[in-house]
Structure 1
Amino acid sequence: MNLVAPSARLIDAATGVVLGGADLAAEVGRHAAAYAGLPPGVVFARSGTSVPAVLRYAGALRAQRPVALLDPALDPAVLADFVRRFSPAVVVGLAEGGAGADPGERPGDYRAVDDGVLGPVWVRERTCADRPHPDLAVLLATSGSTGDPKFVRLSRAAVESNAAAIARVLAIGPDEIAPTSLPLYYSFGMSVLNSHLAAGATVLVVDGGVLAREFWQAVSTYGATSLAGVPHNYEMLHKIRWSPAKYPTLRTLTQAGGKLRDETILAFHARIAEAGGRFHVMWGCTEAGPRMSTLPADALPDRVGSVGPALPGGSFTVLGPDGAETDRPGVVGELVYRGPNVMMGYAESAADLTRGDEQGGVLRTGDLGCLDADGFVWLRGRLKRFGKVFGIRVNLHDIEELARDQGPVVAVSGPDRVVVFVEGGTDDGTRVLAGRLAERLRLHRSGFDVRAVERLPQLPNGKIDYRSLEALV
């Protein structure tokens, strides 16, 4: 499998080194050859934001090696548990992540090798008896660095089809330059990398994230043309009054990874449109390799709140109240996605990696929503995101929508009440919000515990850390 088109390039912002054309192809081939000298099986790749991490990933795909992209800051105990249960042939990227990203002690059944191409690695002494399925290409943890025991199994066809579909709807071509604004082990960050390399575009490898001065210096120096972000990224940029006008080469902004407030979407749409660019809201999940839909830029502002129609090759239906699937407009139920990018299934052990496609291209998303007459998706929350107030079931997503005018908010379920966390809130504001929610939902205000926090906690991929908030309840 080769995702790197002939015209693709990698720019290392830290050194200024550019790899492209025959040189990039040779480097990917060199890394693929290095894997050939190692025992067969899965590659665990601790992947920071670096050119060597990209080359180890691309080389594994070229060598037909299934590769698990892992956060280099993953707790050593969690990494050790993953290694124990999945028996990878090799663990690469041991030096990734810098200070505080120690992989921990080498497992007893692995030997340390300083490979001339791959760098320091752990190599399994004995070949694992469970051989990965030949279609398997990529493994992604279902919740980043939280230690969730499951991997999502993505086939080569899923990865390739999703990269091609994203490149098509975003019109990614050889003249595009995308900075690495998201971690490579996060599905959205991986999809940015895949779609640009497959389309023959340039990936600007720069660490630090969108609030780092060095990031924007690299954007200016190398003429980046797009920016991908999750809601927290855009909320923070909104707070500091960031403007794309300062970066004249930027022409595309994309957002996924959760619900962004409508007013923030419209603000960034207006800013980039004024500069002659476009803003795309996207929706997906790791299980869909990972994008499922994209809102066309010209659908804003009229269709703000929608995540758009399915990507080319995909389709949506709704599982209605009667248990039957339908594509009739306005019916609210669980959204069901069909497409070539749907995962093969989950994996909790090495034995699971031997299994073939268990989904048949069909994914029940776990999201509530409906379709409009043009097939655009309108999300209404998660099936499992419900709480109870005095025994009455309430939709946590709806509560967050009612409180959006307060800024970034998260609602979680507490003991017979709902706890709402408001970023940057005030004592007076929280009291008023609790009263407003009680009045709107016709419940006693003691059922709503509204708390001000300086900043909502995040996972390394920029998504809200719901588990940390639930632990405070």
Structure 2
Amino acid sequence: MFPHPQARLVVAGEPPGLRGDELAHHVARTAEALARLRPGPLFCGMRNNLTSVLRYLAAWRSGRPVALLDPDLTPGALAELVGRFRPAALLGFTHAADGSPPARRDAPPPHPDLAVLLATSGSTGNPKLVRLSRQAVLANASAIATALSITPGELAPTSLPLHYSYGLSVLNSHLVAGAGVMLTEAGLLERSFWTHLDAHGCTSLAAVPYQYEMLRRLRYDRSEHPTLATLTQAGGRLGPELVTEFAAQADRFFVMYGQTEATARIAVLPPDRLADKPGCAGLAVPGGRLEIDDGEIVYHGPNVMMGYAETAADLARGDDLGGVLRTGDLGRLDSEGFLHITGRLKRIAKIFGVRVNLDDVERLLRGSVPVAATSGDDRVTVWAEGLDAAGCAGLARRLGAELRVHWSGFDVRGIDSLPLLATGKVDYRALESRA
């Protein structure tokens, strides 16, 4: 049953929260309101608040597909998505009033298995939507709850956006396990986040690499947050020194790997293997299987998406992938079946005919200044925070020497700060538009 009868939602600073029959009653009331809207998929500006979560759960209860999107999408980006997908209603967006957009020609009804739509590229560009079935959402939520041993006594804050697959998976995995979620729109840099985390006795925290870097700068000290026993990390590779540092600040520290196309998480590294598997992404989540095909990581499991959608017509499609996801990531499996990620297929550039892995470029420079690498015509552009012309030239020569490519193949540019998506990942599209 989803959510589990014991599951609870706690609004930060407002005890005691909703659970059991009371939560079910609020979901049912919201479902009644949604039933008054015309048929079709819903677009929900998904905030980390009770209204958004109740809409999501009400859509689920009603069997109605819902796209969970960045609530602060620009008017142009939202209009572009509306034009392509023709939703029945817009709910919770900063730059659009709630209600039905102008009627358009009829679109085929969405596939009955379709439950959730998530964007592939944050708030930039013209993202495809990932089509997730009810089975995929439930399978991944249950697999995560099992892998992380989430029990009804657990309480996790919304430390990540709920329109981001990692943030949504925290909500889903706790609700399916009968655990609790503390809803807060405050970020990790805000005092109120920690005040409410401590007041409500949160037991776990999910974060992406840039958030762990912020926590290090904030001099995170577990002794100040005694109930916070579990830390989880996904959304990119976290440096080994930070893994070691934060593993020492928790009873359990989980390193994970996933993709929106697999609903959320694909692999989890058990905390007791951190020491002997440094840099490892872990084992496939329960019910899943990993293989390597010509260097590419391929995942098999019930949590794989139905496929992508680029227009309203695609929402009527069935399962295009049959539970098999070619991730686009490069990796290897060791003798125990643990996954080690080595790069990204599409993160390969050519400089004077020589293949260069852009992830390797970033790894080489990690620890000096924050950098991001993008590909250009027969060269690589490296964006480095806070560097002057001399510093940029020095980095270009260093890269040339270490990668054995002439330094002129690296266009190193200083930038005040790297643009980030709401997920905390580097916004490579924004950088490419500046190249």
Confirm or deny: 8 A CA contact 1:406 1:422 kept in the other structure. no
In structure 2, distance between residues paired with 1:255 and 1:426? 33
Superposed CA deviations along residues 269-325 of structure 1, whole A, max 9, x for unmatched, are 1222xxxx11111111111001101111111122121110100010111112xxxxx
In structure 1, distance between residues paired with 2:277 and 2:390? 34
Q: Which amino acid aligns with 2:291?
A: T
Comparing 243-252 with 385-394, greater Cα deviation is found at 385-394
1:102 to 74, 92, 95: 95
Displacement of 1:420: 2.4
Report matched runs for 1:416-435 at 5 Å.
Answer: 416-423=378-385, 430-435=392-397
Q: Which residue of 2 aligns with 1:158?
A: 136
Q: Which residue of 1 aligns with 2:418?
A: 456
In structure 1, distance between residues paired with 2:168 and 2:337? 27
Displacement of 1:471: 2.8
Q: Which amino acid aligns with 1:297?
A: P
Structure 2 residue 207 is matched with structure 1 residue 229: yes
Counterpart of 1:191 in 2: which secondary structure? helix
Report matched runs for 1:361-380 at 5 Å.
Answer: 361-380=323-342
Displacement of 1:169: 0.5
Q: Which amino acid aligns with 2:95?
A: D
In structure 2, distance between residues paired with 1:13 and 1:52? 13
In structure 2, distance between residues paired with 1:133 and 1:127? 18
In structure 2, distance between residues paired with 1:397 and 1:123? 42
Q: 1:7 to 1:123 in 2, by over 3 A?
A: farther
Displacement of 1:4: 1.1
Counterpart of 1:137 in 2: which secondary structure? strand
In structure 2, distance between residues paired with 1:297 and 1:426? 41
Report matched runs for 1:298-313 at 5 Å.
Answer: 298-313=272-287
Confirm or deny: 8 A CA contact 1:406 1:425 kept in the other structure. no
Confirm or deny: 8 A CA contact 1:284 1:290 kept in the other structure. yes
Counterpart of 1:7 in 2: which secondary structure? coil
Superposed CA deviations along residues 336-367 of structure 1, whole A, max 9, x for unmatched, are 10000000011111111111001000010000
Percent of pairs with identical residues: 54
Displacement of 1:138: 0.3
Displacement of 1:259: 1.7
Confirm or deny: 8 A CA contact 2:188 2:194 kept in the other structure. yes
Comparing 295-304 with 175-184, greater Cα deviation is found at 295-304
Displacement of 1:253: 0.9
In structure 2, distance between residues paired with 1:426 and 1:260? 27
Confirm or deny: 8 A CA contact 2:296 2:329 kept in the other structure. yes
Comparing 173-182 with 121-130, greater Cα deviation is found at 121-130
Confirm or deny: 8 A CA contact 1:345 1:358 kept in the other structure. yes
Q: 1:127 to 1:407 in 2, by over 3 A?
A: same
Displacement of 1:423: 3.9
Confirm or deny: 8 A CA contact 1:13 1:204 kept in the other structure. yes
Displacement of 1:454: 4.1
In structure 2, distance between residues paired with 1:127 and 1:413? 41
Q: 1:302 to 1:161 in 2, by over 3 A?
A: same
In structure 2, distance between residues paired with 1:380 and 1:467? 22
TM-score under structure 2 normalisation?
0.95
Report matched runs for 1:185-264 at 5 Å.
Answer: 185-264=163-242
Report matched runs for 1:174-193 at 5 Å.
Answer: 174-193=152-171
Report matched runs for 1:437-452 at 5 Å.
Answer: 437-452=399-414
In structure 1, distance between residues paired with 2:103 and 2:398? 63
Displacement of 1:33: 2.4
TM-score under structure 1 normalisation?
0.87
1:145 to 119, 123, 132: 123
In structure 2, distance between residues paired with 1:414 and 1:265? 33
Structure 2 residue 78 is matched with structure 1 residue 83: no
Equivalences, count: 435
Confirm or deny: 8 A CA contact 1:89 1:124 kept in the other structure. no
Counterpart of 2:67 in 1: which secondary structure? strand
Confirm or deny: 8 A CA contact 2:208 2:236 kept in the other structure. yes
Q: Which residue of 1 aligns with 2:313?
A: 351
Q: 1:243 to 1:408 in 2, by over 3 A?
A: farther
Superposed CA deviations along residues 85-129 of structure 1, whole A, max 9, x for unmatched, are 2122222224xxxxxx222xx7xxxxxxxxxxxxx4326658944
Counterpart of 2:285 in 1: which secondary structure? coil
